[in-house]
Chain A
Amino acid sequence: MPFEYLDHTADIGIRGIGKTVEEAFCEAARAIFNLMVDLEEIVPEKAIHVTVEARQLDLLLVEWLSTLLAKKDLEGLLLSRFHVELREMENGFSLRGVGWGEPLDLKRHRPKTEVKGVTYAGLRVQREDEQWLAQCVVDI
Chain B
Amino acid sequence: MNETLQLEQVASSEWILQKRGEMRVPGRIIADKGTIAQLKQDLAEKKEWNALEQVQNVACLPGIVSAALALPDVHPGYGFPIGGVAAFDIEEGVVVVGGVGFDINCGVRLLSTPVAKEEIAPLLQKLADDLYRTVPAGLGSEGKLRLNVKEIDRLLQEGARNVVERGYGLERDLLFIEEEGRITGADPTTVSLLAKQRQFKQVGTLGAGNHYLEVQTVERVFDQEAAAIYGLAEGQVVVSIHTGSRALGHQIGQDYLKEMERASQHYHIPIRERELVCAPVASPEGGRYLSAVACGSNCAFANRQVLAHLVRTSFARTLGLTTEAIHTVYDIGHNNVKFERHRVDGEERTLLVHRKGSTRAFGPGREESPSPYRAVGHPILVGGTMGTTSYVMCGTPLGMEKTFGSGIHGAGRALSRKKAAKKFWGKDVEASMADAGIILRAHSMRGIAEEAPGAYKDVERVVQAAIDAGITRPVARLRPLLVLKG
Contact = CB atoms under 8 A, between A and B. Distances in A.
Contact of A120 (B77, B82, B202, B277): B277
B425 interface: no
A137 B417 CA distance: 13
5 nearest CB pairs, A to B: A121-B78, A117-B102, A120-B274, A111-B139, A104-B140
Nearest to A7: B416
A135 to B, nearest CB: 11
B130 interface: no
Interface string B436-472: 0000000111110010000000000000000000000
Interface in B222-252: 247, 250-251
Interface of B: 48-49, 75-79, 82, 101-103, 138-140, 194, 197-198, 202, 207-209, 247, 250-251, 253-254, 257-258, 261, 273-275, 277, 413-419, 443-447, 450, 486
Contacts of B444: 110-113
Majority-rule SS of A interface residues: loop
Contacts of B78: 8, 10-11, 119-122, 137, 139
B49 A122 contact: yes
Given A120-B274, A122-B49, A10 B140 contact: no
Given A70-B254, A121-B274, 6 more contacts: A70-B198, A104-B140, A110-B445, A111-B138, A139-B250, A140-B209
A118 B275 CA distance: 11
Nearest to A120: B274
A9 B75 contact: yes
Nearest to A74: B197
Nearest to B139: A111
Give chain A's interface residue range (CB within 8 Å of chain B). Answer: 35 or more
A68 B152 CA distance: 23
20 contacts: A8-B76, A9-B49, A11-B78, A59-B258, A70-B251, A73-B198, A104-B139, A110-B446, A111-B443, A113-B209, A114-B208, A116-B102, A117-B102, A118-B254, A119-B79, A120-B257, A121-B49, A121-B78, A139-B250, A140-B209
B417 A11 contact: yes
A139 B77 CA distance: 9
A122 B274 CA distance: 9
Contacts of A6: 48, 418
A74 B198 contact: yes
A10 B275 contact: no
Nearest to A121: B78
Contacts of B257: 62, 117, 119-120
Contact of B79 (A9, A78, A121): A121
B389 to A, nearest CB: 21
A120 B416 contact: no
B247 A12 contact: no
B440 to A, nearest CB: 16
A112 B447 contact: yes
A5 B140 contact: no
A123 interface: yes
A139 B444 CA distance: 18
A133 B417 CA distance: 22
Nearest to A78: B140
Contact of A70 (B194, B416, B450): B194
Interface of A: 5-12, 36-37, 59, 62-63, 66, 69-70, 73-74, 76, 78, 104, 110-114, 116-123, 137, 139-140
B139 A7 contact: no
A113 B447 contact: yes
Nearest to A103: B140
Nearest to B247: A73
Most buried by A among B75, B139, B194, B198: B139
Contacts of B275: 119-121
B102 A59 contact: no
Contacts of B208: 111, 113-114
Contacts of A139: 78, 101-103, 250, 253
B49 A8 contact: yes
B416 A114 contact: no
A12 B77 CA distance: 10
A19 to B, nearest CB: 25
B49 A36 contact: no
Nearest to A38: B446
Contacts of B207: 114
A122 B48 CA distance: 8
B75 A12 contact: no
A65 to B, nearest CB: 10
B141 to A, nearest CB: 9
B139 A36 contact: yes
B49 A12 contact: no
B140 A111 contact: yes
A113 B447 CA distance: 6
B198 A113 contact: no
Most buried by A among B101, B275, B417: B417
A5 B415 CA distance: 15
Given A113-B139, A117-B250, A59 B49 contact: no
B266 to A, nearest CB: 13
Contacts of A137: 49, 78
A31 to B, nearest CB: 12
A66 to B, nearest CB: 5
A78 B217 CA distance: 39
